[in-house]
């Protein structure tokens, strides 16, 4: 066994840290703020990464990628998430919209989208969840009603992250009703400036831009907008979401903030209750476990033996660790143990941000209940 | 990065497991509790070559030793396999155990009187065991014995492995307990359908299994850290113990709850695993003491992670 980064991996990690240090200001805590300069910083950072082919490390070189190994992709995820995701809203396009277009798109769609995603020039949002279709996504009702050669889309999406800043939407709509609810769903690639699309931001504790409603009012879509086959969208969604087994490397930000706590609290650290410090030490161990579970999935990915249950086990642990760490750190700063300097203030803001975002960890990208179902199905599927 | 045990280690684990099953499996612990001598186990493991492993000299042997410990745990084997494999026979240390102080006890101390035992205090000292008292004989510590110690000296770096290998025994125990629980959920019918079809039970099983996977990965990481002499190895070993205790509590709680009254009966193997996991979970330290020691060690040698080095962190340096 060997649990160290390869030489290439270690070099990549150093390179990414240097890039973050040189390109991002200390105050950057994510692109989703009320200050438009944060989004601008993120977009510039994406261009820097794109120049190195590292915005889309997993992609084949022919589409502007670096064909990097699953381990190098993991390093990228860790370094980016730990530093408050300097890629901003690129996550979705890069991680699964692009690969889905590679796999199912027409030549024209590949030509139109892939280079722009790889260059960091475009932001995508996903038109998935609806008021009546959350975890049970296949129950979606947004309808694409046949009209001449194409369709008119009517309906409402909700919880749509980045919709306020997105250029394109990966939209799921129902084009027919089959025997099962999974049948008759079609994927459309729709520009967000098409007439009839209206975005309504939702004010929320997680902060601006994360949650929005998107209304489709007789939006015209054509055959050219369809990804893959009409009525066959569900299989695309399933495969597209499987592109990201591990998802966000939440444990990496936990790791960074937990390690920063004693430094930021400095001489106030000793005055913390022993019980709180013990929770902190335990959280460090649990964070390590979450990281190792991610590595378990990645190793299996490399050998082609990964099972949905492995990713589910990782997510069950990692999302709860995110919340555990958030609680520990909030207790630490709420004890007012943190100092008054700029760094201490920033740390307090970082913890505040982490806590708010961690609340969604067990809800977003497949709730923890869905992960439990996936895991138990495998455990109990056969004697 | 390579996170799997070597093929040789996994192969040896299968050989040991098959041999123990053939020799009676859980019958061995039943016999030990009844006071029968443990010669069979010692000889059987000797024949397989287990006592020739030298984890302190070779990482390949170290991985094999851990795999053997896991196999032993699956049957609550009444023999100090982990303590022997953590020893250093070349320097006269046949078996080694970290002990609680001031009242040192060792689980399985008198099963093999010929062994030269050493006790560790977990703070860098060791002392020879000069005499072994009578078995505690309680239901939960049937094979634990108080020991009398000689003079303390430096531990010669024995402690990390001596803490790590018993966690691998516990890993075997909890892995087997969860396997039994899963099987029980599929077999047992209530309200006209298998327990496995009740979502509340599915979810509890999933949570427990996920926790167990996390412990298993940590066990492998810690073994690598200890065998390759990483700077944080001593801290890592305490961290593993903390995880082992948390996981054992969760797995056996889930197991007992799902087995119902049947799980307390000695005719089910779960009862034996659960009972014999107790001395490993309480000795040398229970959860509170382990947590206190974890904090103490982490504050002196940080837990190695992606961001242990905060010296160049943007939030610290500002640029």
Interface of B with A in 60-79 (CB under 8 A): 63
Q: Do A3 and B221 touch (CB under 8 A)?
A: yes
Q: Answer yes or no: do A224 and A184 share one domain.
A: yes
Q: Answer yes or no: do A150 and A104 share one domain.
A: no
Position A337 confidence tier, pLDDT thresholds 50, 70, 90: low
Going from N- to C-terminal start, the domains of chain B cover 7-98+107-119+138-144, 159-300
The structure tokens listed for B246 are 């948390």
Sign of the four-CA dihedral A347, B239, A248, B249: negative
Residue B137, CB half-sphere, CA atoms under 13 Å: how many? 5
Compute the average pLDDT of residues B182-204: 97
pLDDT of residue A1: 95
Position A383 confidence tier, pLDDT thresholds 50, 70, 90: very low
Sign of the four-CA dihedral A91, A136, A319, B2: negative
pLDDT of residue A281: 98
Write out pLDDT tens, residues A171-229: 999 999 888 889 999 999 999 999 999 999 999 998 888 899 999 999 999 999 999 99
> By residue range, what is the domain housing residue A48?
7-122
Query: What is the DSSP annotation of B156-188?
Result: TT-HHHHHHHHHHHHHHHHHHHHHHHHHHHHH-
d(CA B171, CA B74): 8
The proportion of chain A whose per-residue pLDDT surpasses 90, expressed as a percent, equals 76
Angle formed by the axes of helices B59-73 and B7-22, nearest 10°: 30
The structure tokens listed for B28 are 């061995």
- Mention every residue, 6+ apart, whose C-beta is less than 8 A from residue B47: none
- Could you tell me which residues are beta bridge partners of residue A174? A143, A185
User: Total structural domains in chain A?
Assistant: 3
Q: Answer yes or no: do A172 and A202 share one domain.
A: yes
Position A335 confidence tier, pLDDT thresholds 50, 70, 90: low
Q: Give the SS3 label for residue A122.
A: coil
Task: Give yes or no for residue A314 having a pLDDT over 50.
Answer: yes
Q: Answer yes or no: do A105 and A132 share one domain.
A: no
E strand or H helix at A379: helix A368-380
Among A106, A122, A138, where does a domain finish? A122
pLDDT of residue A243: 67
Q: In terms of residues, how long is chain B?
A: 319
Q: Do A282 and B242 touch (CB under 8 A)?
A: yes
The structure tokens listed for B190 are 């209530």
Contact of A101 with A113, CB cutoff 8 Å: yes
What value, to the nearest 5°, has the Cα angle with vertex B226 and ends B224 and B231? 110
The residue of chain A with its CA nearest to that of B179 is A379
d(CA A101, CA A67): 17
Q: Answer yes or no: do A13 and A96 share one domain.
A: yes
Residue A292: C-alpha distances to residues A3, A91, A249, B2 (Å): 9, 22, 11, 11
Q: Give the SS3 label for residue B130.
A: strand
Q: Do A342 and B318 touch (CB under 8 A)?
A: yes
Q: Do A1 and B224 touch (CB under 8 A)?
A: yes
Peptide bond into B284 cis (omega under 30): yes
Among B149, B77, B143, which residue's Cα sits nearest to residue B110? Answer: B143
Taking CB atoms and an 8 Å cutoff, what residues of chain B touch A259? 302, 305, 307-308, 310
Residue A267 domain-assigned (yes or no):
yes
Taking CB atoms and an 8 Å cutoff, what residues of chain A touch B318? 26, 342-343
Q: Answer yes or no: do A342 and A264 share one domain.
A: yes
Among A328, A312, A252, which residue's Cα sits nearest to residue A288? Answer: A252
The larger pLDDT score, comparing residue A345 to residue B85, is at B85
Q: Which long-range contacts (CB under 8 A, 24 or more apart) does A327-335 make?
A: A327/A355, A328/A258, A328/A276, A328/A279, A328/A280, A328/A283, A329/A257, A329/A258, A329/A261, A329/A354, A329/A355, A330/A355, A331/A276, A331/A279, A332/A261, A332/A265, A332/A272, A332/A276, A332/A280, A335/A272, A335/A273, A335/A276
Q: Answer yes or no: do A133 and A207 share one domain.
A: yes
End-to-end Cα separation, chain A, in angstroms: 31
- Compute φ and ψ for B247, nearest 5 degrees: -70, -40
Q: Answer yes or no: do A139 and A208 share one domain.
A: yes
- B81-114 burial: b if 16+ Cβ within 10 Å, else e: bbbbbbbbeeeebbbbbbbbeeebbbbbbbbbee
What value, to the nearest 5°, has the Cα angle with vertex A361 and ends A359 and A366? 135
How far away is chain A from the Cα of B212, in angstroms, using its nearest Cα?
10
DSSP at B212:
H
For A164, counting Cβ atoms within 10 Å of its Cβ (0-12 exposed, 13-18 middle, 19+ buried), the class is: buried
Q: Give the SS3 label for residue A198.
A: strand
Q: Answer yes or no: do A281 and A316 share one domain.
A: yes
Q: Answer yes or no: do A149 and A209 share one domain.
A: yes
Contact of B73 with B94, CB cutoff 8 Å: no
Write out pLDDT tens, residues A14-35: 999 999 999 999 999 999 888 9
Contact of A324 with A332, CB cutoff 8 Å: no
Q: Do B243 and A347 touch (CB under 8 A)?
A: no
Residue A158 domain-assigned (yes or no):
yes
Residue B314: C-alpha distances to residues A5, A358, B14, B228, B310 (Å): 22, 22, 49, 31, 9
pLDDT of residue A336: 61
Superfamily classification of domain B159-300: Butyryl-CoA Dehydrogenase, subunit A, domain 3 (1.20.140.10)
How far away is chain A from the Cα of B290, in angstroms, using its nearest Cα?
10
Q: Give the SS3 label for residue B97.
A: strand
Q: Do B2 and A1 touch (CB under 8 A)?
A: yes
Taking CB atoms and an 8 Å cutoff, what residues of chain B touch A312? 206, 210
> Which segment of A160-164, B95-99, B124-128 scores lowest on mean pLDDT?
A160-164
Contact of A288 with B307, CB cutoff 8 Å: no
Nearest by CB: A6 against B1, B4, B315: B1
Compute the average pLDDT of residues A96-102: 93
Residue A102: C-alpha distances to residues A11, A126, A240, A243, B231 (Å): 29, 17, 11, 12, 45
Among B208, B285, B284, B235, which residue's Cα sits nearest to residue A284? Answer: B235
Write out pLDDT tens, residues B137-179: 888 888 899 999 999 999 999 999 999 999 999 999 999 999 9
Residue B10: C-alpha distances to residues B13, B61, B80, B170, B254 (Å): 5, 12, 20, 17, 27
Residue A240 domain-assigned (yes or no):
no
What CATH number should be reported for the domain holding residue A276?
1.20.140.10
What CATH number should be reported for the domain holding residue A74?
1.10.540.10
**Residue matched to tokens 């913890």:** A351
Task: Give yes or no for residue B92 having a pLDDT over 70.
Answer: yes
Quote ipTM for the complex: 0.97
For B156, counting Cβ atoms within 10 Å of its Cβ (0-12 exposed, 13-18 middle, 19+ buried), the class is: middle
The residue of chain B with its CA nearest to that of A69 is B1
Peptide bond into B258 cis (omega under 30): no
Contact of A183 with A229, CB cutoff 8 Å: no
Task: Give yes or no for residue B109 having a pLDDT over 70.
Answer: yes
Write out pLDDT tens, residues A134-145: 888 889 999 999
Among A235, A236, A93, which residue's Cα sits nearest to residue A168? Answer: A93
Position B78 confidence tier, pLDDT thresholds 50, 70, 90: very high
Nearest by CB: A316 against B206, B215, B314: B206
Nearest by CB: A260 against B196, B291, B313: B313
Q: Do A3 and B224 touch (CB under 8 A)?
A: yes
E strand or H helix at A3: none
Q: Answer yes or no: do A184 and A134 share one domain.
A: yes
Among B50, B46, B40, B59, which residue's Cα sits nearest to residue B12? Answer: B50
Compute the average pLDDT of residues B248-268: 96
Residue A1 domain-assigned (yes or no):
no
How far away is chain A from the Cα of B187, in angstroms, using its nearest Cα?
9
Q: Answer yes or no: do A357 and A276 share one domain.
A: yes
For B120, counting Cβ atoms within 10 Å of its Cβ (0-12 exposed, 13-18 middle, 19+ buried), the class is: buried
The structure tokens listed for B41 are 């186990």
Q: Do B295 and A24 touch (CB under 8 A)?
A: no
Mean pLDDT of chain B, nearest integer:
96
How far away is chain B from the Cα of A351, in angstroms, using its nearest Cα?
12
Compute the average pLDDT of residues B46-50: 97
How far away is chain B from the Cα of A294, in angstroms, using its nearest Cα?
10
Residue of A21, A285, A374 to mutate, testing the B interface (most B Cβ within 10 Å of its Cβ)? A285
Interface of B with A in 287-306 (CB under 8 A): 291-292, 294-295, 298-299, 302-303, 305-306
Nearest by CB: B316 against A289, A343, A380: A343
Among A122, A152, A185, where does a domain finish? A122
Residue A345, CB half-sphere, CA atoms under 13 Å: how many? 7
Nearest by CB: A1 against B5, B214, B313: B5
What CATH number should be reported for the domain holding residue A197?
2.40.110.10
Residue of A17, A20, A281 to mutate, testing the B interface (most B Cβ within 10 Å of its Cβ)? A281
Residue A113 domain-assigned (yes or no):
yes
Look at strands A185-191 and A168-174 and give their pairing: antiparallel
Compute the average pLDDT of residues B90-112: 95
The answer, for B242 touching chain A at a CB cutoff of 8 Å, is yes
Contact of A135 with A369, CB cutoff 8 Å: yes
């Amino acid at each position: 066994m060997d649990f160290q980064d390869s030489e290439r991996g270690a070099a990549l990690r150093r390179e990414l840290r240097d890039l973050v240090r040189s390109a991002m200001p200390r105050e950057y805590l994510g692109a989703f703020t009320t200050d438009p300069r944060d989004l601008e910083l993120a977009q510039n950072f994406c261009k820097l990464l794109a120049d190195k082919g590292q915005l889309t490390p997993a992609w084949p070189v022919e589409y502007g990628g670096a064909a990097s190994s699953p381990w190098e992709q993991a390093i990228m995820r860790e370094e980016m998430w730990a530093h408050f995701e300097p890629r901003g809203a690129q996550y979705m396009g890069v991680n699964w919209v692009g690969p889905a277009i590679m796999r199912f798109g027409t030549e024209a769609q590949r030509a139109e989208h892939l280079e722009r995603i790889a260059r960091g020039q475009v932001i995508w949002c996903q038109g998935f969840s609806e008021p009546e279709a959350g975890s049970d996504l296949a129950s979606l009702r947004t309808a694409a009603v046949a009209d001449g050669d194409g369709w008119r889309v009517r309906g409402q999406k909700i919880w749509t992250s980045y919709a306020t800043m997105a250029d394109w939407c990966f939209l799921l709509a129902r084009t027919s009703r089959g025997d099962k609810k999974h049948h008759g769903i079609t994927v459309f690639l729709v520009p967000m400036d098409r007439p009839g699309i209206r975005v309504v931001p939702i004010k929320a504790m997680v902060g601006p831009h994360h949650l929005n409603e998107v209304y489709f009012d007789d939006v015209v879509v054509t055959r050219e907008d369809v990804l893959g086959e009409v009525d066959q969208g569900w299989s695309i969604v399933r495969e597209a979401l499987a592109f990201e087994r591990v998802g966000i490397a939440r444990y990496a930000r936990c790791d960074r903030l937990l390690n920063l706590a004693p430094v930021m609290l400095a001489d106030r650290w000793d005055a913390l209750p022993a019980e709180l410090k013990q929770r902190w030490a335990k959280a460090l161990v649990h964070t390590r476990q979450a990281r190792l579970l991610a590595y378990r999935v990645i190793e299996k990915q490399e050998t082609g033996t990964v099972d949905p249950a492995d990713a589910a086990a990782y997510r069950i642990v990692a999302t709860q660790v995110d919340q555990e760490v958030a609680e520990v750190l909030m207790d630490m700063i709420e004890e007012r143990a943190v100092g008054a300097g700029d760094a201490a203030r920033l740390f307090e803001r970082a913890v505040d941000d982490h806590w708010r975002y961690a609340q969604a960890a067990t809800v977003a990208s497949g709730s923890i209940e869905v992960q439990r179902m996936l895991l138990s199905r495998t455990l109990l599927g056969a004697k | 990065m390579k996170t799997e045990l070597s093929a040789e280690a996994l192969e040896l684990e299968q050989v040991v497991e098959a041999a123990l099953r053939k020799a009676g499996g859980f019958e061995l612990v039943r016999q030990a509790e009844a006071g029968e001598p443990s010669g069979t186990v010692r000889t059987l493991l000797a024949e397989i070559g287990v006592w020739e492993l030298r984890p302190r000299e070779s990482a390949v042997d170290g991985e094999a030793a851990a795999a053997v410990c896991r196999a032993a745990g699956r049957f609550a084997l009444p023999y100090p396999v982990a303590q022997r494999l953590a020893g250093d026979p070349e320097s006269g240390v046949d078996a080694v155990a970290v002990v609680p102080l001031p009242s040192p006890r060792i689980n399985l101390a008198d099963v093999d009187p010929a062994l030269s035992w050493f006790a560790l205090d977990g703070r860098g000292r060791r002392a020879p065991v000069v005499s072994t008292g009578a078995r505690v004989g309680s239901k939960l510590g049937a094979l634990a014995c108080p020991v009398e110690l000689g003079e303390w000296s430096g531990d010669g770096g024995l402690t990390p492995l001596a803490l790590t290998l018993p966690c691998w025994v516990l890993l075997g125990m909890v892995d087997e307990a969860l396997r039994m629980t899963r099987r029980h959920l599929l077999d047992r019918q209530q309200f006209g359908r298998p327990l496995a079809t009740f979502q509340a039970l599915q979810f509890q099983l999933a949570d427990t299994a996920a926790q167990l996977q996390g412990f298993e990965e940590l066990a492998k990481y810690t073994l690598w850290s200890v065998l390759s002499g990483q700077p944080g190895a001593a801290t890592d070993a305490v961290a593993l113990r903390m995880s082992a205790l948390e996981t054992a509590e969760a797995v056996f709680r889930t197991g007992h709850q799902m087995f119902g009254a049947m799980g307390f009966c000695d005719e089910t193997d779960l009862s034996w695993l659960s009972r014999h996991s107790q001395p490993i979970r309480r000795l040398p330290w229970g959860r509170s003491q382990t947590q206190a020691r974890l904090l103490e060690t982490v504050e002196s040698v940080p837990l190695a992670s992606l961001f242990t080095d905060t010296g160049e962190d943007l939030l610290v340096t500002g640029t």
